[in-house]
Structure 1
Amino acid sequence: MDIKQLRALLTIAETGSVTKAATLLHIVQPAVSRQLALLEEDVGTELFSRGRYGMKLTEAGEIFVEYARRALAELDRARSEIQPAEGVSGVVTIGLLPSTCDLLASELVAAVASAHPAVRLRLSMGYTGHLQNWLELGEVDAALLYDPKPSPTMRVQPLLEEKLWVVGRPEAGFRADSPLPLKQVTDGPLILPNSPHGIRSLVEQACAAAGIDMSIVAETNAMSVQKGLVLGGLGVTILPSIAIVDDVARGLLSAAPLSDEGLQRKIVLALPNTRRVAAAVACVVDILVAVMNEAVRSGKWTTARWLANESEPPYTKRSVNLDEALPE
C-alpha cells in the first residue's frame, strides 16, 4: 500500500470513473486500474462495485475511504510543518458557518493568496455539529463554531457575539432601530432551523423561560430555504444579522433585532487539541481572525461585539495587517 494507491482510490471515489480519475491524476488509465487492483489485493476485499454506470464504493470501500482521506490529510499537514526556507506552503482547510460565508470567504481567500501564495486554501461549509465532527476527524484544520459543546479534543477562543434578528418580508416593516420582544414575533407563523441547530436551541430556551408558545410552520437545515420561505410569505424567521445584511440592503427583506436577554450567539474559533497546528494553518487562522475583526470594526458585521481581546488567544503570536495582506 502506498500514497499513489490511496490517491487513486480517493480520486475514483470522487469521480466515479477510472477514466476521469486518470485524467485528474495525469496518468494513463491502466496505471490507475493497476493501483486500485494492488490496493484491493492488499486489503483483501473489493472497494468498488463495477457497473455500466461507473464505479460505486462498496461498504468496505466507504469505510476505507474515510481512513485514506484522513491519512493523506495528516501527510499534507506533515509536509506543511516542514517548511521550505522561502515561505509557508501546504493545504489548509477552514470550516465556516453558512451565515458567515458571504461576508468572509472572498476577503479570506484574497488575503491568503496575497500573503501566502504557496498555501492552497479549502473552505468547508457546515453547521456547528458537522464542523465540530470534521475538526475532530481531521477533515478540517480549524473552524468557526457557534457556542459548541465542550470537548477535550479541541480548544476554543471566543471571537465575537452578535444579536439575533427577526426577519420578514419588506411589508412586515421590521427596522434595525426598533428592537422587538420575542413574544411579539412568535404570535405569527415561524420558520426555524431544524433541531439541534444552535439558533433553534436559543429560541426554544428563551420561549420556555418566558412561557411563550411557538407556532412553527416549517423547519429546514438550509439557510437559503429559510429565507426563501420568508420571501414566499409563509412566515418570519430568526437569523443573525450577518446572514441577511445584503438582503435587507437590497430591499428584499426587513429585519429588527430581538430585545430579549440571551438571544445572542457567540462565534468561537476552534482548533484541534489532538494534533499539532501546522505553520500554514496558523498563518491562515491569523488572517481569518483579522478579516473578522475588520468586519466588526468597519460595521459590516452589524451588531457584532468583538470578544477576542478579552482573553489570551491560543491561535496567534503575531498580528496581521490586512492592508498589507490584501492585494491592491
Structure 2
Amino acid sequence: MELRQLRYFVAIVDHGSLSRAALVLHVAQPALTQQLRQLEEDLGAQLLHRTAQGVHSTDAGKVFYEHAQAILKQVADARSAVTQSARPAGNVTLGLPHSISGALALPLLTAARAHYPDITLQLTEELTGNLTEQLKSGRVNLAVLFDDGQLTPFATTPLADEALRFICRTDAPWFAGRAAVTLAEALGATLILPGLQHGVRPRIEAVARAAGLATANVIEINSITILKSALLADLGATILPVAPVLAEIQRGQMRWLDIHSPAIARSVVLCASRTLPPTIAVTAISKLAVDVARELCDGGAWPGAMAVGQP
C-alpha cells in the first residue's frame, strides 16, 4: 500500500468519478484505475461500486476512507512540523460541538488570522461523539469537548465552566413569571435534548442520577438548528447553555431560567491526542484558544461561562 494510492482513493470518493479524479490529480485514468485495483487487491476487499453515474463507496470503502483521510492528514502534519520555521505555519483542524461554536468559533478564527497569518485554521462543527472519534483517529488536531470523566485518552486543557439553564419559548407556560426552577422541576418538563452520547445529555443524566432524579419525557434531537425550531414550535423546553440560543433570547423569542437544587454546569476543555506529537502550529492554536476563551468569559461575550480559576 502506497501513500499515492490513498490520495487517489480519497480523490475518487471526493469527486465521485474516476474521470474527474484523474483530471484533478493530473493522472491518466487507466493508471488511476490500475492503482485502485492494486489497492483493493492489497486490502482484499472491494472499495468502490462502479456505475454509469459514477462510483460509490462500499461498506469497506466507507471504513477505509476515514482511515485514509486520517493517515494523509498525519503525513501532512509531519511534513509541516519538519519544514516549519520559528514562525508557526501550516494547517490546524479544530472540532467544535454545535453548542459551543456560536460562542467560540468566530472569535477564535478572527484571533488566529490576526496573530498567526501563516496558519490555516479549519473549523469543523460536529456532535461531540463524532468529534471524539475524529480526534482519536487524527482527522482533527484539536477538539473542544466536555469533561465527563471519559477523556483520559486525550491531553486536556480546561477552557471554562459553563452553566446550563432551563430554556423555553417566551410565551410557553413552563414556570411563567419565575426566574429559577429546581432541577427536579426542570426534569419533569417535556425536554428536547441531544441523544445520550452527545452534547449536554451525559452531564444532565449524571447530575440527575447523583441527585436521585431522572429525565422523564424526552424528545431526542441531535441538531441545534432543529432543536431550536422545536422549542419555537412549543414542543417542549430544554436544558442548555445560553450561548446557542442567545440570538433567539435577544429577539424575545425564548427565555431562560436558572436551575438550582442542584445547579448544573459542564466543564469545557480543549483536547488533543496523547500519542500524535503536535506541530508548532497546533501548539500555537491551543494556547490561543485558551486566551480567547478567557477573554470571552471575562468580557461577558460567552454568556453563562466562567474562565477556569475565576472566583
TM-score (norm 2): 0.87
**Cα contact 1:158–1:308 (8 A) shared by 2:** no
Deviations 1:162-202 (A, max 9, x none): 11111111114889992322233344322222213352233
Aligned ranges for residues 188-267 of structure 1 at < 5 Å? Answer: 188-197=189-198, 199-210=200-211, 212=213, 214-267=215-268
The range that moved more, 251-260 or 196-205, is 196-205
TM-aligned CA deviation for residue 41 of structure 1 = 5.1
SS in structure 2 at match of 1:281:
helix
Structure 1 residues 147 and 85, CA gap change in structure 2 (3 angstroms): closer
TM-aligned CA deviation for residue 203 of structure 1 = 2.9
**Cα contact 1:155–1:272 (8 A) shared by 2:** yes
Deviations 1:219-270 (A, max 9, x none): 1122222221110011111101112212111222111221233511110111
**Cα contact 1:128–1:148 (8 A) shared by 2:** no
CA RMSD of aligned residues (A): 2.8
Percent of residue pairs bearing the same amino acid type? 32
TM-aligned CA deviation for residue 43 of structure 1 = 4.4
Q: Could you say which residue in structure 2 is the equivalent of 1:284? A: 285
- Distance (whole Å) between structure 1 residues aligned to residue 193 and residue 232 of structure 2: 14
TM-aligned CA deviation for residue 28 of structure 1 = 5.6
Q: Could you say which residue in structure 1 is the equivalent of 2:134? A: 134
For 2:293, the aligned partner's letter is M
- Distance (whole Å) between structure 1 residues aligned to residue 300 and residue 178 of structure 2: 15
TM-aligned CA deviation for residue 83 of structure 1 = 3.2
**Cα contact 2:148–2:203 (8 A) shared by 1:** no
TM-aligned CA deviation for residue 151 of structure 1 = 4.8
The range that moved more, 274-283 or 56-65, is 56-65
Q: Could you say which residue in structure 2 is the equivalent of 1:149? A: 149
TM-aligned CA deviation for residue 16 of structure 1 = 1.6
Q: Could you say which residue in structure 2 is the equivalent of 1:182? A: 183
TM-aligned CA deviation for residue 284 of structure 1 = 1.5
**Cα contact 1:164–1:238 (8 A) shared by 2:** yes
Aligned ranges for residues 1-328 of structure 1 at < 5 Å? Answer: 1-25=1-25, 29=29, 32-40=32-40, 42-43=42-43, 45-85=45-85, 87-172=87-172, 178-197=179-198, 199-210=200-211, 212=213, 214-307=215-308
- Distance (whole Å) between structure 2 residues aligned to residue 70 and residue 176 of structure 1: 52
- Distance (whole Å) between structure 2 residues aligned to residue 273 and residue 129 of structure 1: 18
TM-score (norm 1): 0.83
Structure 1 residues 214 and 114, CA gap change in structure 2 (3 angstroms): closer
For 1:71, the aligned partner's letter is I
**Cα contact 1:176–1:256 (8 A) shared by 2:** no
The range that moved more, 40-49 or 114-123, is 40-49
SS in structure 2 at match of 1:244:
helix
The range that moved more, 222-231 or 1-10, is 1-10
Paired residues, number: 310
**Cα contact 2:88–2:116 (8 A) shared by 1:** yes
- Structure 1: which 5+ residue stretches go unaligned? 311-328
The range that moved more, 171-180 or 16-25, is 171-180
Structure 1 residues 228 and 33, CA gap change in structure 2 (3 angstroms): same
For 2:305, the aligned partner's letter is A
Structure 1 residues 5 and 301, CA gap change in structure 2 (3 angstroms): same
- Distance (whole Å) between structure 2 residues aligned to residue 210 and residue 68 of structure 1: 45
Structure 1 residues 246 and 182, CA gap change in structure 2 (3 angstroms): same
